Structure 1
Amino acid sequence: MRFIFKTDYDQDIRIFKHSGYWYSYSILLLVLAMAPFVLGNYLQSQLVFVFIYATVGISLLILVGFTGQASLGHAAFLAIGAYTSAYCQQHGVPFVVYFPLAGILTGMVGVLVGFPALRLQGIYLVIATISFGAIVEEILARWESVTHGNEGMKLRTLELFGQAVPRDSPGFYFLCLAVLILVILATLNLLRSPTGRAFVAIRDSETAAKSMGIDVAAYKVRSFGISATITGLAGCLYAHKLSFISPEMFTLLLSIEFIIVIIIGGIFSLHGAVLGAIFIVMIDPFLTTLKDDLPGMIGNLVHVFGADVPTASKVQDQAASIASAPGLKGAIYGLIIVGFILFEPTGLYGRWLKIKLYFQTFPMYKAATFKRQKTYVKSERNR
């Protein structure tokens, strides 16, 4: 077990707590730098989506995990960033201009959404963000002079400093990786700042935060703005990766996928956003493969256990019809969320911490170590 002996207060806010972090993250960065030259185009493309989803997951962590505000409208913020990029590119604006512009414009919209959200909490705030997403989707479909309506918009190959950066090239891969690293570093510094500490105080207890002189309303709006800005930057990269965008791509289901990212990964850690993004991006090809292969496997198993060929074929056809049923993907996502909430509310990263602590303290590990003791301010006990 590693023991850290602290000798000054600066050690409490260091990004890397000890030298082991430098070695492990350096190795991880080296592996990611080698990945596009070793992996095929498909896996490289999947890693790009992991980077983009992880960026959105971090933006949701700032709003949901660190400030305690609910949101099911981040697909709308992603859409605003994507359409801003497409519109600017069509009018000859360079990438170095419309990339930050997409984040700034989306952040301004996030601030506007944050103001009415000040009077809402819990399920009412969730309903408000769902309504916001539906409004944005309808605007994108109806404002044909700007968004081309349901016909969608195509994006040309990204150009950076006069050089073309195709969406399947290593250059685009490194661009998305660089944006993710910068967002992670910026978020870590944000959490070490008074603003980040105010976010956490609001999440833990608004009453206690007010008593400490924190302007709760201002920080909630600021949280919405920062979260939307990061999502807008991810929307720009998302649009270039797909090279075509349309309103039906930014639905409530996409917002639910983003929520799944932080629930599965871990809602209180930046590591959780990355782990959740890996899970949500890689589960799609897994479910597709399972849907294609599972009926045949079931038919073969039925035949092995003594059924005749017609019966096995009938069972296989029934399994195939179930696998192709509409809404199956959403049902599986729902079961996954319920499973994590019931059995592992701290997500994949929380499970990793438990496993690591178990081996560090074996045989003295106590199962109650991670059991959260909920405390209340006296004025909040009857709520």
Structure 2
Amino acid sequence: MRFIFKTRYEQDINLIQHGGQVFWYGVLGLVLLVAPAFVSPYVLTQLSQICIYAIVGFGLMLLAGFTGQLSLGHAAFVAVGAYTQGVLVTAGVPFFVGIVASGLFAAVVGVIVGLPALRVKGLYLGIATLAFGAIIEEIIARAEAVTGGNAGMMVPPVQLFGLRFADGPLFYYLCLAFAICACLVLVNLLRSPTGRAFVAIRDSEISAQSMGVNLAVYKTMSFAISAAFAGVAGALYAHNIRFLSPDQFTVVQSIEMIMMVVIGGLGSIHGAVYGAIFLIALPQAINAIKPFLPLFLSEATGLQPTIFGAVLILVVLFEPLGIYGAWLKTRAYFDLFPFYRQGMFRRQKAFQKSDRLK
């Protein structure tokens, strides 16, 4: 177990808490930088997709994990960013201008969704955002003059500094850079008074309001920032897939995004990354084991959603803190052995149960 002796108040908000983080994050960064030299183009494409979904996870984690607002229509924000980028880049707008416009437009849509959502919360908020996702999907399908409708829309590859950032190392590094920047933005946001207000709203809206937190302002701000993250990820997704259609942004995709942050570890930045890895890696694992399954199982159309649902049920029942929570418990076990107590994390579970009864 690591103990940090703090001598200054500023140490509580330091970006790097101790030398171990410098070492391990440095190793991780080095591995990510040299990955294109050692993996196949297919794996590199999957790594780019993980970076994109991690950005979505950061935004959704801010909204659901740190502000406590449920969203079942987050794929709609990704769609707004993807189609905005597609339309602008096709019209000749520079890449970075399109990225900024995608994030801002998605944030505006997030404000529009967040304002009516101020009057509802919990399950009713989820239903409201679910309806919003269905509306956006229908708008995309009907606006054929702009989006191409159900026929879809082609998106050109990224052109920067005279280079073509297609599906290769260059595009991977581009996605990795955006993912790192998004992570740093979220970390610094959570260390600010705004981030503390978000967490206060999640823990208790009444207590936060009594401390002077304007619920309407901060809830709307949380929706806007989360939607901006999703819009930027959608813009990168458009260049990664290079073909957009309404069936890529359905309610099923929104539910998968919620599953991503829940399974990864709700309320932790690491959980967003773990959830993105899980969401991309699980379909590949299912395809790898299909040859060893009985024929009626391997050819079943609902195999992947069934496994996703089973994993979510198991996580909710046995590991509410997700993959990151399991890692924390494993690390604590080895750090404290033989003095580890089985009920060390029971307080977090008790809080979650009482929170659901409010």
Smaller-chain TM-score range?
over 0.9
Partner-residue secondary structure (3-state), 1:164: strand
Superposed displacement of residue 283, structure 1:
0.6
- 1:350 equivalent to 2:322? Answer no
Deviates more, 1:285-294 or 1:349-358: 285-294
Equivalent-residue separation in structure 2 for 1:293 and 1:154 (angstroms):
37
1:337 aligns with 2:336: no
Matched, 1:50 2:25: no
SS at match of 1:177: helix
Paired with 2:186 and 2:139, the residues of 1 have a C-alpha distance of 31
- 2: CA distance, partners of 1:325 / 1:294: 11
How do 1:111-126 residues align onto structure 2 when only pairs under 5 Å count? 111-126=111-126
Alignment of 1:120-139 (within 5 A): 120-139=120-139
Query: Contact conserved, 2:54 with 2:272, CA < 8 A, in 1?
Result: yes
**Aligned twin of 1:178:** 177
Amino acid at match of 2:263: I
Q: Distance in 1 between matches of 2:293 and 2:253?
A: 26
Q: What secondary structure is seen at the aligned counterpart in 1 of 2:159? A: strand
| Whole-angstrom distance in 1 between the partners of 2:351 and 2:171 | 47
Give the match for residue 287 of structure 1: 286
Percent identical: 51
Unaligned runs of 5+ in 1: 296-319
Match of 1:61 in 2: 61
Moved over 3 A (4+): 373-376, 380-383
Deviations 1:8-54, CA, capped at 9 Å, x for gaps: 11111112111110111011000000001111101111111111111
CA distances 1:95-149 after superposition (whole Å, capped 9, x unpaired): 0210111000001000110000001111111111110000000000001110111
State the Cα distance separating 1:326 from its structure 2 match. 2.8
Matches of 2:201 and 2:2, distance apart in 1: 32
Kept in 1, the 8 Å contact 2:36–2:169? The answer is yes
RMSD between aligned alpha carbons? 1.6
Looking at structure 1, the residues matched to 247 and 351 of structure 2 have their Cα atoms a distance apart, in angstroms, of 44
Retained in 1: the 8 A contact 2:111–2:221? yes
Structure-to-structure mapping, 1:179-328, within 5 angstroms? 179-295=178-294, 320-328=295-303
CA contact (8 A) 2:75 2:254 kept: yes
Q: Corresponding residue for 1:359? A: 334
* SS of 2:344 mapped into structure 1: helix
Is contact 2:45–2:168 with CA below 8 Å preserved after alignment?
Answer: no
The residue type equivalent to 1:187 in the other structure is L
Aligned to 1:311: none
Q: Give the total of aligned pairs.
A: 355
Change (3 A) 1:201 1:336: same
State the shift of 1:381 in Å.
12
Give matches, 1:80-91, under 5 Å.
80-91=80-91
In 2, Cα distance between the equivalents of 1:221 and 1:265?
A: 25
The residue type paired with residue 326 of structure 2 is R
Report if the CA contact (8 A) 2:64-2:70 is conserved.
Answer: yes
Structure 2 partner of 1:16: 16
Cα distance, 1:221 vs structure 2: 0.1
Secondary structure of the 2:186 match is helix
| Secondary structure of the corresponding residue to residue 369 of structure 1 | coil
Residue pair 1:72, 1:256 contacting (<8 A) in 2 also = yes
Alpha-carbon separation, structure 2, partners of 1:12 and 1:137 = 44
- CA gap of 1:381–1:284, structure 2 versus 1, over 3 A, is closer
Per-residue CA deviation, residues 148-186 of structure 1 (Å, 9 max, x unaligned), is 1101000112111332111x2211100100001001111
Aligned-pair distance for 1:332?
1.6
Q: Which amino acid aligns with 1:330?
A: P
Secondary structure in structure 2 of the residue aligned to 1:372: helix
Deviation at 1:329, TM superposition (A): 1.9
Q: Deviations over 1:328-363 (max 9, x none)?
A: 322221111110000000011111111111111111
Aligned-residue offset at 1:276: 1.1
